Amino acid sequence: MATLFNQVNYTVGTLVQSIEMGTIGLPHIQRQFVWPNTKVRDLFDSMYRGYPVGYLLFWQNSLAEGQRAIGTHAKQLPSSLLIVDGQQRLVSLYAVLRGVTVVREDYSEEHIEIAFDPLRERFEVVDAAIRRDRAFIQSISEVWGSDADLFGIVDRYLSRLKQTREVSPAEVKKIQSAFTNLSNLVNFPLTALQLVPEVNEEEVAEVFVRINSKGTQLNQADFILTLMSVFWDEGRKELEHFCREARTPAKHAASAFNLYIEPQPDQLLRAAVGCAFRRARLQHVYSILRGKDLETEQFSAELREKQFAVLRRAQDQVLSLQHWHDFWKAIRAAGYCSGAMITSENGLIYAYTLFLIGTNDFDIDPKVLRRTIARWFFMTSLTGRYSASPESRMESDLARLADIADGQEFIRRLNRICDDTLTQDYWDITLPTELATSAARSPSGFAYYAALAVLDAPVLFSDQSVKDLLEPPTKAPREPLERHHLFPKNYLKRRGFTEQRMINQIANFTLIEYGDNARIADKGPSLYVPALCEGIAKKKLAEMYRLHALPDGWEEMEYAEFLEARRELMAGVVRDAFAKLRKDDGVGDETEDLPSVEALVAAGEGKTIEFKSALRTNLHTMDRDPRIEFSCMRTIAGFLNTQGGTLVIGVSDNGDPVGIGVDGFPNEDKMLLHLDNLVKTRLGPQFAMYIHPRFEDYKGTRVVAVDCLPATSAVYLKEGEIDRFFIRAGASTSELNMSQAQAYIKQRF
């Protein structure tokens, strides 16, 4: 059987001349990106030592237009030989021998500078140290310049070298020989296999995929981009232009630049394919775009044109700057404020695909769709949905959306997938377990920070919001937010914790302003927390601790106990953020003004309201009575253990005013101090943040309303050596025995 190729021998020099003239060109089968400079160095080193460097694959073709040029200089002749395999080697050889720039993967241009030490016959990539070392010729491109004088180059090299040390006659001879060998690399032989002109574009692409087992391999996305180059070159150019624009902010015009991703053409292609064909496995799409009828297995040019027309329409939507930037609003709404928080670019691209389907196929209200995609992305990022086998997972998700008729059903299906994924077991068991890691880029860890942004949480010990500082408008020497070890590293090491995986647990980190981080240094939490809490109102501190998932009394906890408790609280914060995203109005509840004492009395005693005539005085004997104090503390403990409430002191059971004067405190400050001491000694100082007394006038007397927030951990009331547990049941406070308390605590906390 006749082969489809011929074998032809070349030298490096003749190949470079052919590239320079344009007779060898680059078809759209490969990307115009080059190796890292170290690999270029190794190529020249191998050639210098006489090692084989592999064969090349060309395609004899008479096309005179449409082929991209290597480098950035215009060519003189149309290409008759197109590079199919070996592009990276030829780009490297041409760029170095001719000293021209090459196009990097970020679309920037760069000169490849390779230095050479003739005495040691060693090649190196030029850096600052090499530039100072006179043992090297700084750029070997000088040897092959158009006006190069090898003898002059050697003389200048020796002159510089002799300024630093003596050079022996033997060394001079070795240097001259090394430069001659370097110059003669233009005669290095290379073998090429040339595909005959009768081979068509699709067969060329197929050959490339089959023989290219090393180097830059084509995946299915590359293969579809190849087809685009052959049948719709403008479409591929549009993808590449969009990706180039996404890398640099535009000063005046709208652009694709964003804070999350510098997309690659194949990523945008995936979004277009998902919108056009509802497919994620690109191997199927490749067959479709070739014009293959999946039932008859036959190929048709007419069908190929039809399928490309579908892809064109989808790509127009993908590259719409309006859609592109509207999508990022949904990602910000999910709490992900920058690309640093993204652990899966696949998740971004697939979320964008669903956003486009909702926008263009179902014309869903932009606000509704934004909230839906925010929930979806939060779920997929939290669970790492597209981290493993992303194509298969997205293919399955698209299949579940296949028979949808309208936008409402589209939203219901996405919400159902979220609910099926984020079950109660996930929140209670799976997520706390996933948070037991020290991985710096854990999806669950970033989801917690996103949750803080969704909940509009303040930075710990600060009045700045997490969301604002996660996306700073300017770049300073230090980031405005820093990850802080709640139990500092050196503090833990002094206590015997030496393993980094224990010290750097996610549950040991929080976000804090860099100034506070510096103040903390390596102090233990029991030392640095009081200073940082100064000036922060107790109610605000309690909410801050809740959002930052800090257990009550965490400053005094054993480290292992703290980690376990905080993981569960962190999971709860993430769940709260997702619940907020599920709300139809997309905003959280506003805090209502506290009811006045008059309103509380009018409402009467109930589960969240109770009246006490005095804090410490028995009105029958008018003496101080510890039983009266215990009664007040019991009510407060019950409120803390249930859903919170307000204890009004200075009002009788029937609502009549008594006033706080009966307790005999010289002033209100002394009364507050006494109440605070009772809380700290009988309930525990860690619960003071949940208790907020306020004085008011009521029917000609002064009374105090003690507002109690629900605590995040169980509160026991000390009576001598006994710890007693109380809850609110209806309009009264009830005590639970040990087994009842354990069951209640398990359910409540």
* Residue 296 pLDDT class (50, 70, 90 cuts): confident
677 is written with which tokens?
């001491």
Tell me the pLDDT tens digit for each residue of 665-689: 999 989 999 999 999 999 998 888 8
| Domain membership of residue 691 as a residue range | 597-748
**471 vs 360, which has greater pLDDT?**
360
**The dihedral of CA 26, 28, 29, 30: what is its sign?**
positive
Residues 104-133 have a mean pLDDT of 90
- Asked, for residue 592, whether it belongs to a domain, the answer is no
| b/e per residue 471-492 (b: at least 16 CB within 10 A) | beeeeeeeebbbbbbbbbeebb
Residues 476-488 have a mean pLDDT of 73
> What's the number of domains the chain is made of?
4
Lowest mean pLDDT among 69-83, 431-445, 587-601: 69-83
- 8 A C-beta contact, residue 123 and residue 48: yes
Residues 346-364 have a mean pLDDT of 97
pLDDT at 66 over 50: no
Which one of 416, 446, 464 terminates a domain? 416
Which one of 582, 608, 636 terminates a domain? 582
| Sheet order of strands, 609-612 included | 609-612, 645-649, 701-708, 691-698
Per-residue confidence (pLDDT) for residue 199, from 0 to 100: 76
- Asked, for residue 37, whether it belongs to a domain, the answer is yes
pLDDT at 131 over 80: yes
- Asked, for residue 236, whether it belongs to a domain, the answer is yes
* Residue 570 pLDDT class (50, 70, 90 cuts): very high
Is the same domain home to 198 and 291? Answer: no
Is the same domain home to 563 and 637? Answer: no
Is the same domain home to 316 and 448? Answer: no
Residues 619-623 have a mean pLDDT of 93
Smallest CA-to-CA distance from 117 within 74, 178, 73 is with 178
pLDDT at 79 over 70: no
Is the same domain home to 576 and 702? Answer: no
Tell me the pLDDT tens digit for each residue of 249-287: 887 788 999 989 999 888 999 999 999 999 998 776 777
Angstrom distance (rounded) from CA 335 to CA 463: 19
Per-residue confidence (pLDDT) for residue 481, from 0 to 100: 61
Is the same domain home to 328 and 438? Answer: no
- Asked, for residue 709, whether it belongs to a domain, the answer is yes
Residues 493-498 have a mean pLDDT of 93
Residues 25-33 have a mean pLDDT of 51
Per-residue confidence (pLDDT) for residue 229, from 0 to 100: 64
Lowest mean pLDDT among 83-87, 114-118, 271-275, 647-651: 83-87
* Residue 28 pLDDT class (50, 70, 90 cuts): very low
Alpha-helical segments (H) within 67-200: 87-98, 128-132, 150-162, 169-183
Residues 297-319 have a mean pLDDT of 88
Residues 6+ apart with CB under 8 A from 607: 642, 643, 645, 728, 729, 730, 731
Is the same domain home to 373 and 455? Answer: no
The size of the chain, in residues, is 749
Per the prediction, the chain carries an average pLDDT of: 87
Is the same domain home to 567 and 675? Answer: no
**The dihedral of CA 490, 496, 501, 503: what is its sign?**
negative
Lowest mean pLDDT among 52-61, 77-86, 546-555: 77-86
SS (H, E, C) 175-224: HHHHHHHHHHHHHCEEEEEEECCCCCHHHHHHHHHHHCCCCCCCCHHHHH
Residues 6+ apart with CB under 8 A from 520: 484, 488, 512, 528, 532
Tell me the pLDDT tens digit for each residue of 134-173: 999 999 999 998 888 999 999 999 999 999 999 999 999 9
Per-residue confidence (pLDDT) for residue 473, from 0 to 100: 54
Is the same domain home to 573 and 495? Answer: yes
CATH number at residue 651: 3.30.950.30
Q: Is 497 helix (H, G, I), strand (E, B) or coil?
A: coil
pLDDT at 373 over 80: yes
* Residue 420 pLDDT class (50, 70, 90 cuts): confident
Residues 35-39 have a mean pLDDT of 91
Is the same domain home to 507 and 610? Answer: no
Is the same domain home to 517 and 453? Answer: yes
Angstrom distance (rounded) from CA 604 to CA 648: 11
pLDDT at 499 over 50: yes
Tell me the pLDDT tens digit for each residue of 653-665: 999 999 999 999 9
pLDDT at 71 over 90: no
Is the same domain home to 135 and 153? Answer: yes
Is the same domain home to 69 and 80? Answer: yes
pLDDT at 584 over 70: no
- Asked, for residue 538, whether it belongs to a domain, the answer is yes
How do strand 722-729 and strand 732-736 relate by DSSP bridges?
antiparallel
**How many C-beta atoms surround the C-beta of residue 406 within 10 A?**
12
The torsion region of residue 487 among left (phi > 0), alpha (psi -120 to 50) and beta comes to beta
Residues 91-103 have a mean pLDDT of 88
Lowest mean pLDDT among 43-47, 225-229, 359-363, 554-558: 225-229
Which one of 582, 607, 622 terminates a domain? 582
CA 540 to chain centre: 29
- Asked, for residue 726, whether it belongs to a domain, the answer is yes
Per-residue confidence (pLDDT) for residue 592, from 0 to 100: 45
- Asked, for residue 589, whether it belongs to a domain, the answer is no
Lowest mean pLDDT among 89-98, 109-118, 415-424, 475-484: 475-484
pLDDT at 2 over 50: yes
Placement of tokens 């400050």 in the chain: 669
Angstrom distance (rounded) from CA 305 to CA 375: 38
Placement of tokens 């964008």 in the chain: 352
- Asked, for residue 422, whether it belongs to a domain, the answer is no
